Structure 1
Amino acid sequence: MNAGALLSMAIGGWLAAGFTAIGAKVLRDFSRAELEEYSRRQRNARRMDEILDHYEEVSVAAETLQVVAMVTFVVAGYSWWQSLVHRFAASETILAEEFVGAVTAAVFLLLVTTVWLPWAVVQFGSAAFLYHTWRIWRAIAWALWPFSLCARLAEAFMQRLTGSLDDEQSEEEAFEEEIRAIVTEGLREGHLEADAREMIEAVIELGDIDVADVMTPRSSVDALDVDSTWQEIVDLVGECGRTRIPVYEGSLDRVIGILYAKDLLPVLVRSEGTPPQTLRQLLREPWFVPTSKKVDDLLRDFLRTHNHMAVVRDEYDAVAGVVTIEDTLEEIVGEIADEYDDDEEEQIRDIDEHSAEVLGGTHVEDVNEHFGIDLDDEDDFDTLAGLVLSKLGRIPRRDECLEIGPVRIIVLDATRRKIEKLKVEVVDRSRTEA
């Protein structure tokens, strides 16, 4: 083969390697959200669906062709260089220098087309590139179908060997990780506030939280016996300050209805405190949910049914507690205080000169300022409870103790879900948290 043909093969292999490298990189790292938005602007949602259905097999074909193209570039380029050497024989020293120069040039060309350019396309135009070149990739995948078949066989073998399954759950987890990556990037670039990130994280986690984790437990439920006197009813409604109260017959496991305060007040006013009807006549039908129900499903059901309270039953059909729409929203936005809640508790309450009771939600910088110390607050937390969780990797038990930098921290109150209150003792001001 003459030098001109070899040079043409080398250039063709280099260009093909660059194009397939871009395709392989885009097919691995494209953003579904950006592709959906771009497809919507192009008014072709079917193209996006086709890409999502077949991008994995197309990715294998692109990577296969990339390897072939790179090998072609290297072999043809080396053969072309050898033909030049034989044609223009020179001293060994000059040949060695030319060889080093040729290798350097080849490495640079491959870096440009297979590393730097694909990275730039993924960062700034992956959706548009994938959308407009999709038919090319489908044709390549069709031409290289034996390689895709081999890849699927290897994938099936590894899944059987490791006992893992590529199911909808893994796809959902991958999508959640993509959302987290986008949010993290937005936070880093200043497009999102930390509070917004926390809310988005909370929304993602809703599908992993059971109703049992957010409900008011049975022991804390304010409820009425259906045979209660009107005075007992008024007293309980006034004391608890709740707008919806479960009503039971005999025991709390037999909830027969929900009393709305807004239904009770007009009746009391019209009858001057002694209504002619019974409590049973004022009740609304209760809505029951299992403890295992996921919070995201519960929130959707709240919105669909226009209910604001549900009675929670366990696997034995006993009442485990109640859950409100406020409980589910608090999982997203944090604690919601209203006019009936007690006054906010003091964040830091001094015990003596060197110790204090501190609420778990107190910011680390406030603790530092209060005690004149320097606890680390540069990681993925900003509260004292978050600092403790990051050190232990779990929610601690009550009375559990740990030392962090210059302080000893004792857990005074903690639930299954969060740390409520801690005691902070300064033991050595000369030590700081690294």
Structure 2
Amino acid sequence: MPDEVPDSSTGRSWLDRISEFFGSSPTSRLDLVELMRSARDREVVDSDTLGIVEGALEMADMKVRDVMIPRTQMVVIRASSEPREFLPSIIDCAHSRFPVIGDDPDEVLGILLAKDLLPLALDPAKMERFNIKDHLRQALIIPESKRLDSLLRDFRISRNHMAIVVNEYGGVAGLVTIEDVLEQIVGEIEDEHDIDEDDYLIKELGDGEFTIKALMPIEDFNEHFHSKLSEEEFDTIGGLVLQRFGRLPARDESVEFGGFCFTVLSADSRTIRLLHVTPVGSTNDTEARNGDDRP
């Protein structure tokens, strides 16, 4: 019987096989991206795979401060409060984990899991005996300068899904979850509590505030707001906003032009998804024509 021919692909990575297919090996990150794009163009890999690779490469350059939820938006529980005091907030925001603080807002005692409160609903008598400190999980504390790829590794090793971010003085700067990190790789991860972006292009919030999809056509925006933003270079509001930033903005970043303030509500490593819009006063004629307040 002739000897079996060994499988030449054994022990070789997908990158080795793609490089062999195209006759070249990447020597830099840019080369790798171009190689993957060529593979996509030839249908060797699909667009989703390309997006994940690009997201993973971009994540390596990002810091925790780029994706964290700032302190002002954190939902926290004071250790001294009773269940009847903090349960309404927990039910309202529908998060699964909550930082628990002491008398000092910078004193993080641990993390409380919402599921640990379920017995209180089944047996109200337990509410009187509930001691929050008996249910705390150790908090993962990280600096805001930590790299996201390193944080993802820490999450995996420690089996934590949330970390408390501190600044250089040891004060709480915000928090970050494993979902925040993964979204930089695979894009927005939506659940039943997220806004359904497919149901509307624009949603009025009251008091002159609106939520709009970044894919909203500029023509529709102008018609709704009686504005005159330029439609010459871009078709969508998201395109204009990206032009103004000159880069892909992070969540909660704002820019003003055309008489409006645009704040990013939802974005991933590749695109803007949702914007918060507020009129900021009278619109200059030149600014209205060009969609630009630069000289």
**Shift of residue 174, structure 1, vs aligned partner:** 4.3
The aligned residue for residue 31 of structure 2 is: 178
Tell me, in whole angstroms, the C-alpha distance in 1 between the residues paired with 2:152 and 2:60: 10
Q: Cα 1:421–1:125, aligned 2, differ >3 Å: closer, same or farther? A: closer
How high is the TM-score relative to the length of structure 1?
0.49
1:236 is aligned, of 89, 100, 105, to: 89
Q: TM-score, normalised by structure 2?
A: 0.69
The whole-number CA distance in structure 1 between the counterparts of 2:21 and 2:187 is 34
How many pairs align? Answer: 249
8 A contact 1:299–1:325 mirrored in 2 = yes
The one of 248, 268, 276 aligned to 2:101: 248
Encode CA deviations 1:409-429: one digit per residue, 9 max, x unaligned: 955224797864387x9x88x
Question: Which whole-Å CA distance do the structure 2 matches of 1:385 and 1:398 have between them?
Answer: 12
Q: CA deviation at 1:397?
A: 4.8
Specify the SS of the correspondent of 2:106.
strand
Report the CA distance between 1:268 and its aligned residue: 4.4
Question: CA 1:350/1:335 → structure 2, altered by over 3 Å: closer, same or farther?
Answer: closer
For the structure 1 residues 422 and 193, does the alpha-carbon distance in structure 2 shift closer, same or farther, using more than 3 Å as the test?
Answer: farther
The CA deviation at 1:345 is 7.3
Determine helix, strand or coil for the equivalent of 1:398. strand
| Residue 192 (structure 2) aligned to one of 318, 328, 339 | 339
Pairing of 1:383-398 with structure 2 (within 5 A): 384-386=237-239, 388-390=241-243, 393-394=246-247, 395=249, 397-398=254-255
Per-residue CA deviation, residues 11-47 of structure 1 (Å, 9 max, x unaligned), is xxxxxxxxxxxxxxxxxxxxxxxxxx87946xxxxxx
Q: Secondary structure at the match of 1:385?
A: helix
Task: Report deviation, 1:220.
Answer: 0.4
Aligned to 1:59: none
Name the counterpart of 1:413: 263
Q: Output the CA distance in 1 between the equivalents of 2:266 and 2:10.
A: 44
Q: Read off the aligned partner of 2:255 and give its amino acid letter.
A: R
- Between structures 1 and 2, the one with greater strand share: 2
**In the alignment, is residue 293 of structure 1 matched against residue 143 of structure 2?**
no
> For 1:95-126, what per-residue CA distance to the aligned partner results, in whole angstroms no more than 9, with x for missing partners?
xxxxxxxxxxxxxxxxxxxxxxxxxxx97656
Higher helix share: 1
- Change in Cα spacing, 1:345 to 1:247, as seen in structure 2 (3 Å) is farther
Q: Residue 399 of structure 1: which of 223, 246, 256 is its match? A: 256
2:54 to 196, 201, 214: 201
Cα deviations by residue, 1:171-218 (Å, 9 ceiling, x for unpaired): xx9431222011110222233443433322111011111101111100
94, 113, 135: which one aligns with 1:260: 113
Matches within 5 A, 1:102-121: none
Identity of aligned pairs, percent? 31
Distance 2:203 2:162 in 1: 39
Equivalent residue, structure 2, for 1:269:
122
Give the match for residue 223 of structure 1: 76
CA positional deviation for 1:309: 0.6
Aligned residue number for residue 279 of structure 1: 132
Where relative contact order (Cα < 8 A, 6+ residues apart) is larger, the structure is 2
- Could you say if the C-alpha distance between residues 233 and 350 of structure 1 is closer, same or farther in structure 2, counting changes exceeding 3 Å? closer
Q: 1:271 Cα deviation (Å)?
A: 4.6
Distance 1:178 1:347, change over 3 A: farther
Contact 2:111 2:139 in 1 (8 A): yes
| Larger Rg belongs to | 1
Name the amino acid aligned to 2:257.
E
**Gapped regions of structure 2 (runs ≥ 5):** 1-7, 205-209, 224-229, 278-282, 290-295
For residue 246 of structure 1, give the secondary structure of its aligned residue in structure 2: strand
How far, CA to CA, are the matches of 1:369 and 1:187 in structure 2?
33
Mark the runs of 5 or more structure 1 residues left unpaired by the alignment: 1-36, 42-47, 49-121, 128-172, 402-408, 429-434
Structure 1 CA distance for aligned equivalents of residues 222 and 46 of structure 2? 28
Kindly indicate whether the alpha-carbon contact (under 8 Å) linking 2:142 and 2:165 is maintained by their aligned counterparts in 1: yes
Partner of 1:318: 171
